[in-house]
A and B are shown apart, each in its own frame.
Chain A
Amino acid sequence: MNMVQIPHAQGDDMGEETGKARLRSGYVGGILVLLVASLWLPTVAFDSHEAQRSFYLFLPSMGMAAIALCVLFVGGIHKGRMCLALGYIGASAALGLAFLWVPSVPNDAFESPEAQRLFYWHVPSAWMAMIAFGVLFVGSALWFVRRSALGWRLHVAGSEAGLATGLMAVWSGCLWGAAEWGVPWDWTDVRLNSFALLTLLALVLVLGRRAQPDGVESRDTFATAGLFGFVLVPLTYIATRIWQIRHPGPVIASGDGGGSLAPEMGALLGFAALSFTVLIVGHLMESVHLTSLEQRLDRLQGNLDVEATE
């Protein structure tokens, strides 16, 4: 009986695998069709050459989104690493373009046009930091409410990514502030100081976790800090809308129906934001995986210690 059942079970597995492979091929095929359509449709849909040009400027962003979706669906167990590599390549390309190409675009949005290059580094960094702090909040809540192992891994990933990206945004902001305002920091500006506090919170969480033995009580403490610290995220977001002291107000999604960005600048900012998003998603996925591996190592070490003492 077993000799009959085992090949049958293997056949089912193989059928399931074939089905998954077909589904993945379907996703890849669908995305390729979308890419081809996106190249051809603008010539049909838009009469004006200018409108077509604006559309084509956003093609790198669509390409990045399509490749990232392919990676997420067909990347298998290494999709986190593939997202990391893809995001890093995209971020490098965006920063290279920002340094060499976009500053030639005439614009009146900045006092110091040369320092405009920092815009494509500073804004995506702050965007990544907001994603990381969002993940930190969700992870802290999941740990606190459900004692979820995944929640704790998300907390760890969010705090580490929040620290790195927060420092990137603060560092680029200081450089830009020095060029644009003549001073790198303004202690009276709410946006600057609330964002710095968020980065400081991430620093406290990362260093505190390394200094404390891992346990339920210490996790509860850090999760509470993560939960209450998240209050700073909406405060940071609305700060320039309520108290505009030094940091400029929003130049995109300002709510008044328009922004001050030229199409080329918007296209590059979009590409940079997308590439940095893929990078931070890859980092978060890989960090969750890494924490899970470290926990397995701890467990093995614990088992070995028990065996040694017995």
Chain B
Amino acid sequence: MNGMTALALGYLGMLTALGVWTWTVMSRARDIERRLASTEAALGLNDGNVDPVLEDER
């Protein structure tokens, strides 16, 4: 394998890794948003911006 092929593979690998990382973050957020919305609607909760560790400390 010559140098340019290795470089091209490195670039493709990099772009793929960046894409996978970006897609994973976006799909995780979408998935948790959906689960939360349905759970909170079922339980009648709506105060979202709370950190459970800080709540326990208080």
| Closest residue on chain B to residue A87 by CB atoms | B22
Cβ of A286: which chain B residues have Cβ within 8 Å of it?
A: 25-26, 29
CA of A114 to CA of B2, assembled, Å: 12
Q: How far is the CB of A210 from chain B (nearest CB, A)?
A: 14
A26 at interface by CB-CB < 8 Å? no
- Looking at A130-138, A212-220, A228-236, A241-249, the stretch in contact with chain B turns out to be A212-220
What is the interface of chain B mostly: helix, strand, loop, or mixed? helix
Which bucket holds chain B's interface residue count? Answer: 35 or more
Chain A proximity mask over B28-54: 1 for CB below 8 Å, otherwise 0:
110011011001100101001111111
Interface residue? B1 (CB, 8 A) = no
Q: Which residues of B contact A290 (CB under 8 A)?
A: 25, 28-29, 32
Q: Which residue of B7, B26, B36 is within 8 Å of A114 (Cβ)?
A: B7
Chain A nearest CB: distance from B51 CB in Å? 4
- Report yes or no: B32 in contact with A297, Cβ–Cβ below 8 A: yes
**In this assembly, does A81 line the interface, its C-beta being within 8 Å of a C-beta of chain B?**
yes
Chain A residues within 8 Å of B18, by CB: 88, 91, 168, 279
Size class of the A contact interface (CB-based, 8 Å): 35 or more
CA gap between A278 and B16 in the complex, in Å: 18
Shortest beta-carbon distance, B16 to chain A, in Å?
11
A selection of 17 A-B contacts at a CB cut-off of 8 Å is A81-B29, A84-B26, A91-B18, A99-B7, A99-B8, A114-B3, A149-B49, A149-B51, A175-B7, A216-B57, A219-B53, A279-B22, A283-B25, A290-B29, A295-B50, A300-B39, A300-B43
Residues of A within 8 A of B (CB): 81, 84-85, 88, 91-92, 95, 99, 114-115, 117-118, 121, 147, 149, 152, 164, 168, 171-172, 175, 179, 214-216, 219, 279, 283, 286-287, 289-290, 292-300, 302-303
Interface contact A214-B29, CB-CB below 8 Å: no
Option from B17, B19, B25, B48 in Cβ contact (under 8 Å) with A287: B25
Pick the contact of B7 from A115, A289, A293 — CB < 8 Å?
A115
Q: In the complex, what residues of B have CB within 8 A of residue A152's CB?
A: 51, 53
Is B21's CB under 8 angstroms from A164's CB? yes
Partner of B51, one of A85, A95, A121, A295: A295
The residue in chain A whose Cβ has the minimal distance to the Cβ of B4 is: A114
A147 with B57: CB separation less than 8 A: yes
